[in-house]
Structure 1
Amino acid sequence: MTSVPASAVKRLTARGAKTRAKIVAAAADLMYVRGVGTTTLDEVVAASGVSKSQLYHHFTGKSMLVRAVIELTGERVLQRERDALSHVSTMAGLKRWRDALLQNNALRHGAYGCALGSLASDVADHDDVARQTLARLFGEWQDLLEGVLQRLKDGGALSADASVTQLATGLMGAVQGGYLLAQTAHDVAPMNTSITMALAHIESLSPR
């Protein structure tokens, strides 16, 4: 049997990884704008510029592709949130984070909502594996918020008996509810109100 040179395998693996990444990125963009249910595999093939056989080589069906889209979307959202929240330790910093979320969403007039939240609405009731992945990703996002609140508490900006876990849960709820209201109104004003009220409650717990 003729062996395949290691360098050839490496090139094929790299090529395959690049093709897969193109498929997932195209699917993520389509599903964000159109929704999971109305995005077809034929549309993903056309948008990614690959053949249908290449798509099926990497994904056995739409559900497997959706799971990959969730992972990619989660990676994008969490990297954005890590960059924004990792060093925040003041209420002023949290307000700047809110302003950045609003500014980013205003570019689309709030039309498409949260990328992760939209996926959760589309697939959580139909694919338990996808639901568990989304729960983990939302948990990681909430952990970042909890880290900020713990730093506020350590710095004396929150009372000693404030529950950073409960506050982070409430703030995450305000963010996701705000995204949904902005999406239905095509206006970020309700999102601003939702997050601002959550931050006002947190600020009211200052012992000073």
Structure 2
Amino acid sequence: MTDEHAAREEMAHLCKSLFDRGFSVGTAGNVSVRLHDGILMSPTNVRLGDLDPARISKLDLDGHHVGGDKPTKETFLHQAFYDTRPDAGAVVHLHSTWATALSCLADVDPQDCIPPLTPYVVMRVGTVRMIPYTRPGDPKTGELIRALRGQYAAVLLSNHGPVVSGKNLFSAVCAAEELEETARLLIALRGQRVNLLTSEQVGELRSTFGTI
């Protein structure tokens, strides 16, 4: 089994898992994996639960479509992460309910929209920036992500949803799940007094487990 074949199979398997558990509905969301000679990307207008490994889109390292079905219209989101985060091996963009809800709230801190509520969001997701609203498919979104210069592994697209990168597809999916669960907790706790982790506690986690 080639590395690309294995990546296609894993991508279809994990995307179906996300879809079956409600992290993506309809044809929303897109996922990609970086290979040594290009990028695999979920096709446009296909549910994440229905990916055919053989028909997953392939782009070369410059972003040109070279095989499989037509890729998502939001290829620039993925390319922006790969170009600014050399260690990124996968990118997951979802319209998951709670993270998308958080992206619609007017009083969320755009500099740190997922505060350190639990140790695992610090360890798996890190600081999350809010990207100003742009229409779906607008390449400007990629420019806004590039402007962050790779400092963040995850962002929230305002009124749209999360985009999360990881060293590999499994870690990116786990991080996207952790972000979604933390967003759910944050909304459930709104109006309550919350004990966030202190800067010292966050620092200890980062020194022990590293930064994202």
Interval of TM-score (by shorter of Structure 1 and Structure 2): under 0.3
TM (norm. structure 2) is: 0.21
Structure with bigger helix share is: 1
TM (norm. structure 1) is: 0.21
Larger Rg: 1
